[in-house]
Structure 1
Amino acid sequence: MAWHIVEKLLEQVAEHSTLVGKFWVTFFFVLRFLMVVSIADTVFGDEQGSFVCNTLTPGCANICFNDFSPISLIRLWALQILSVSLPTIIFMVYTAHKMTKISQAKKLRQDEMDKKKKMREEAKKLKTRIQTTMWVTYERKVVCRLAVEIGFMVLQFNIYVFKFWVPELFKCARWPCPNVVDCFVSRPKEKTIMLWVMFATGLIMIVLNLIELYHLGARKILEAWKQRG
């Protein structure tokens, strides 16, 4: 993986973030991105191959595994990373565009220093208006991140038969299994610990988003929203 590209993206995000936002970026990269890429993949990588059922009925073991794990947790977490990162990436593109506008406003203001006062005021208003719009966009980004984090945690909790503990034994009674079939899960304690870590990481990210929204301030957000046009 081209880590220098990731590092550059992180620097660009942190440049236009609050202090809490910088903490969010750090925790997201260390606790979420690296955790899924380097550790979770090795824990859940052999999930289906090590899922053994005491039956010889064709298709029964596969059906039981689909019931036990409808979606690969690795793919779900990867999709979560992508979805959480998307608002930040959009904000980066938007910020780059608006920073260009601010540079133009500064240049206009500098060029008109010796001309009419009205022209200077127009340039100043343009810069203030762009900064206000960026503030509103930043707040929307944080809200989107928060909604995505909560949404994926609820999805993960409801989509799997196991919640916070991966069982050693999973009993399956679906067709074409002739009766109740016992299926055995490999390394359940290790997978349980990984689930706890990912849930804890999600809670940390949610708390950081809430703190950042509080740090932005409801009054500032309301004022920025009123002046967005």
Structure 2
Amino acid sequence: MSLNYIKNFYEGCVKPPTVIGQFHTLFFGSIRIFFLGVLGFAVYGNEALHFICDPDKREVNLFCYNQFRPITPQVSFSALQLVIVLVPGALFHLYAACKSINQECILQKPIYTIIYILSVLLRISLAAIAFWLQIYLFGFQVKSLYLCDARSLGENMIIRCMVPEHFEKTIFLIAINTFTTITILLFVAEIFEIIFRRLYFPFRQ
């Protein structure tokens, strides 16, 4: 792959053919990455160290924490969700770069427009699935008390554990769910933008 292909691929990813796509990539996407990277680590960075159960034993704390948090919503799940949702667009722009398709031509020729719309629809589907998993795994609220089933450790009891900074984590979860909702709405709006532009600027054969 020549440097020209790499340049076209980079420009396609950074500057999509739609205004809404550019807004999502340059502005909203940057805010979301900053939110996950900076604020997310501040909230979830030392969660395991401050997760305390009664009795306060290291093995009990670790076991119950893994039960309480099999995957972190900030580092693991949200980052994976962000990458997966961006894959269809990246694949399209890779295809456009290999075919030497100019960004201005994407919305001018029917075949390119249809392929691009399909990539947006795939992004919507992936974002919706990720949103459902996000709600299923984490919900909208983090409670201050977690009841851990520690019978497999031989404790033969339900152990109470204190969740650190539960209020901040609740706010963070609400923010993540809000970001995901806005992302889906932006993808839907991008399709409407394409349709609107096609109504005023007919396809070039």
What band does the TM-score fall into relative to the shorter chain? 0.7 to 0.9
Q: Which amino acid aligns with 1:20?
A: I
Shift in Å at residue 202 of structure 1? 0.6
CA drift of 1:52 comes to 0.7
- Paired letter, 2:92: F
Alpha-carbon separation, structure 2, partners of 1:93 and 1:48: 40
Give the structure-2-normalised TM-score: 0.78
* 1:149 pairs with 2:150: no
The structure with the largest alpha-carbon Rg is 1
Aligned length: 185
Q: Look up the SS of the partner of 2:140 in the other structure.
A: coil
Is this contact kept in 1: 2:52–2:61, CA < 8 A?
yes
- Counterpart-to-counterpart distance in 1, 2:140 and 2:115: 36
Asked if 1:209 corresponds to 2:187, the answer is yes
What amino acid is aligned across from residue 168 of structure 1 in structure 2? S
**Using the alignment, how far apart are the partners of 2:132 and 2:98 within structure 1?**
35
Could you report, residue by residue, the CA deviation over 1:14-46 in whole angstroms, capped at 9, with x for unpaired residues?
Answer: 534211211221344233212111211221111
- RMSD (CA atoms): 2.8
What is residue 201 of structure 2 aligned with on the other side? none
CA pair 133-156 structure 1, distance change in 2 beyond 3 A: same
Paired residues of 1:10 and 1:25 also in contact (CA < 8 A): no
Aligned counterpart, 1:34: 34
- What's the offset of the Cα at 1:158? 1.3
Give the unaligned 5+ runs of structure 2: 1-7, 199-204
Q: How many percent identity over aligned positions?
A: 25
1:65-104 paired onto structure 2 within 5 Å: 65-73=65-73, 74-99=75-100
TM-score (norm 1): 0.71
Partner in structure 2 of residue 166 of structure 1: 142
Shift of 1:57: 6.1
Q: Which amino acid aligns with 1:19?
A: V
Q: Output one character per residue of 1:183-223: Cα deviation in whole Å (capped at 9) or x when no partner.
A: 011111111111111111111111111111222239x6xxx
Query: Secondary structure of 1:178's match?
Result: coil
1:131 counterpart = 2:118: no
Letter of the structure 1 residue corresponding to residue 84 of structure 2: S
CA–CA distance in 2 between the matches of 1:192 and 1:54?
Answer: 23
Is the aligned partner of 1:198 residue 2:176?
Answer: yes
In structure 1, list runs of 5 or more residues that go unmatched: 1-7, 103-126, 221-226
